[in-house]
């Protein structure tokens, strides 16, 4: 549920999620092993790194939906009775084409997307300040954001006036709501041996 709320309030993450879904649908319609399918799978694998954090084994697996009770077989729910008919499958928003992929640390790709989202929502923010907020080295963050922008350009998602408008509106809403913690931290967690910074009492 948290992932769906996050996507609803973060336009760039949502745009990436929607493009991933489009690519998945196109891949399903292509012959297995074809050059066109492999090329599209590579596009999807690159884009998925900026979507949501790496899935757990349970999140990567597709869960069957049974006729009679949609909750059967779900985590914490009772198992389906013998002979129950499968009528579909459900999957986590974090599910990927492949659970593991070589390349840059995935925490950094998620932080790069969160940082770019902050910059779009408030262009006056300085990159060194954003780097401090997402707990990344400023130089590493700039390189990661350059890679992200290149990926978005290849997918036709950058630049986008509509995305900037939505991000600005979402940023204003978050400021009004006054979130207690940064949303990227809720998604990716904090590094080991890291503790939240204390805030002065008012």
Between 192 and 44, where is the model more confident?
44
CA–CA separation, 79 and 154 (whole Å):
44
pTM above 0.75, yes or no: no
**Average pLDDT value for the chain:** 76
> What was the pLDDT predicted at 199?
40
> What was the pLDDT predicted at 151?
94
Helix or strand run (H / E) with residue 170 = helix 161-177
Q: 140 by DSSP, 3-state: which?
A: helix
Q: 65 by DSSP, 3-state: which?
A: strand
Q: What is the DSSP letter of 86?
A: E
Radius of gyration of the chain from its Cα atoms, rounded to whole angstroms: 19
Within 13 Å, how many C-alpha atoms sit on residue 109's CB side? Answer: 23
Tokens of 137: 């080295």
Which is it for strands 86-90 and 63-66: parallel, antiparallel or unpaired?
antiparallel
Reported as a single tens digit per residue, the pLDDT across 21-51 is 899 889 989 999 999 999 999 999 899 889 8
Tokens of 63: 């869960």
Reported as a single tens digit per residue, the pLDDT across 127-155 is 999 999 999 999 999 999 999 999 999 99
């Amino acid at each position: 549920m948290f992932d769906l709320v996050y996507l609803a309030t973060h336009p760039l993450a949502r745009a990436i999620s929607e493009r991933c879904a489009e690519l998945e649908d196109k891949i399903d319609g292509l012959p297995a092993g074809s050059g066109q399918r492999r090329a599209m799978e590579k596009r999807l694998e690159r884009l998925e790194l900026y979507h949501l954090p790496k899935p757990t084994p349970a999140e990567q697996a597709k869960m069957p939906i049974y006729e009679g009770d949609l909750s059967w077989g779900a985590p914490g729910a009772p198992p389906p009775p013998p002979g129950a008919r499968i009528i579909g499958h459900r999957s986590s928003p974090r599910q990927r084409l492949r659970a593991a992929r070589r390349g840059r640390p995935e925490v950094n790709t998620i932080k790069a997307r969160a940082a770019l989202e902050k910059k779009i929502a408030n262009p006056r923010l300085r990159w060194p300040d954003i780097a401090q907020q997402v707990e990344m080295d400023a130089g590493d963050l700039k390189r990661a954001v350059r890679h992200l922008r290149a990926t978005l350009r290849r997918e036709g998602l950058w630049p986008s006036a509509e995305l900037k408008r939505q991000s600005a509106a979402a940023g204003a809403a978050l400021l009004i709501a006054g979130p207690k913690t940064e949303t990227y931290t809720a998604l990716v967690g904090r590094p080991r041996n890291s503790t939240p910074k204390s805030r002065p009492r008012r």
